[in-house]
Structure 1
Amino acid sequence: MTGRTIAIAVTPGAMHPWDLYELGVVASIFGTPQPDLADPWYELRICSVLPEVTESSIGHGAYLRAEYGVAELVSADTVFVPSVAYDCVAADREVPQELLDVLIEAKHRGARMVALCTGAFVLAAAGILDGRRIATHWEHAAILARRYPAVEIDGTALYVDDGDILTSAGMTAALDLSLHLVRRDFGAAVANRLARRLVVPPHRAGDQAQFVDLSVQARAEADLGPTLEWAAAHLDEPLTVELLAARAAMSPRTFHRRLRQSIGATPKQWLLTQRLARAQTLLESTDFGIDRISRLCGLGTAANLRRHFAAVVGVTPVEYRRTFEQREAPPAA
């Protein structure tokens, strides 16, 4: 399948049991066909670089088994390097040179490289991260920085998209990054529908790379849900905290507090996120002008849309549209 092959590099040594979560995320998203979202989907390959390592211990009797080898990894469009054994981090155990050589070859052949959590130590050892901004788990950021000073490490980011190199922090950040990749490959509508299918946890605020999927929404408490659903359907209208609070039969102060507790955002932050998500969808799926889109998403003027869009998404609406304008419209929900 052209352009959609995903390889996971099996690393030697025992990983932490919770690393199984990250691998499960990758397998669920990229290894499960989604014909109603996009067909063809991805082709997932679990690859062993070292002939003697056909499976990697995850701990507590669990193993990751590789059915593919070096050839399939080198030829993949995207290569995932999962978290590595703890002694590769804390004790500075050397990464096998054979693994580094294969990853370097894959990068030279044009593969998109993705490191999950401490997988960044492997790409850094290969020199692939030199001069690049990356994310990793905050607990290991200082160690990585001391060991590889040529790497620019952001220990607070959930994930960093640096074009052909993408990195994430630990655990659920792998889900954020995986959905971001789907968004890059198939567009916001497909990523949003997949996120709902996976019943993703609340979207976490923080550093956001370009093209982050703003439409992946947090799940609000049951008594707030109807109000937020109504608001999402009326984004082109003037919406105030007072109006939303009245619809929820709450005082503005209570509504503000309950929403903050429920999804980690204030009403104004939530509204802005929904308006920008609507703008993303319209930029992808219509040829409407920027003035019309700004009105439909409730941001009023084109200048206001451009200002908020660039601040949050990282590019202008025109640049964003140019990135996704060649995509076919996704199937109806």
Structure 2
Amino acid sequence: MTVVTEPELSIRGLVKNYPGVRAIDHLSFEVGAGEIFGIVGPDGAGKTTTMRILAGVLAPDEGGATVAGCDVVREPERVKQLISYMPQRFGLYEDLTVDENIRFYADLFGVRKADRAARSEQLLVACGMSEFRARLAGKLSGGMKQKLGLVCALIHTPRVLLLDEPTNGVDPVSRREFWAMLYSLAGQGVTIVNSTAYLDEAERCHRIALLHQGRLLFCDTPAHLKAQMPGAVVSIVSSEARRVRDEFAIAEGVASVVLVGNAVHLFVDNAERRIPELSARLKSRQIPFDEIVHAVPTIEDLFVEAVREDAAHRGAPIEAPAGGALQ
């Protein structure tokens, strides 16, 4: 596991319970300054609860967390001066213009008028929204609303930016533009914690924490996590991908099967040995396929295998992601 020196953010043994549910189960990790850190998992994994604790708006039942050395439980107001928290539904005022929303949040964060104009202009240029300053927020597209939310969240120049699934429901082009802004911010030294169920976004983070039912499965760089996976991944491209998935749901040497677009990823014990066997079985069943190859594992493969092992250890049912996002 990668060791982070002088963490900007640290959580230790966090536990949070709701009636009948343990939302966070002894969660611990650290985030370095200028790092883009992803909290990745499906609905119910504990992502939003973790973010709310880090933002100082929710108290844990056990454990603690610090931001820039400040305790989020004992010093929540001091922490709020160092961070900006952008929840899933950021509070833009749709009957105000872009400029008026920015001015409102600048006043809320206590930004001096002398600094406001320059900071606002810098952020609007960075996100390509300068020409929309007079437009009502309610008339913006979903992607532009998220970018305006980010501008408002950054108007007071926070050290740590907490983003709770900021691109959920945003079109792919706007998501790329949003991530370009995040890389720019990280380059300026801003620490970013981004929760997401989008697996491609997990690949873009410097490091990720994979969560499942409130527990930490893995925490490291995407590349290192994938390199440490035991076994191998075989990718089968087929016009009848669902049929391929069903065929190998239970097969010798196959631990798990995941649909990835028009392909099926099979987690196997040995790719070189299993590919000829899998190919022969497809042909004997007259299931068409275009390609069967030893593939580079994805974060989705990692997550499915980690959940499978966790479920097998606890005797629980296995959950699998679908459609490129964790559901």
TM-score by length of 1: 0.33
- Bigger proportion of residues as helix: 1
Higher CA-based Rg: 2
- TM (norm. structure 2) is 0.33
**Structure showing greater relative contact order (alpha-carbon pairs closer than 8 Å, 6 or more residues apart):** 2
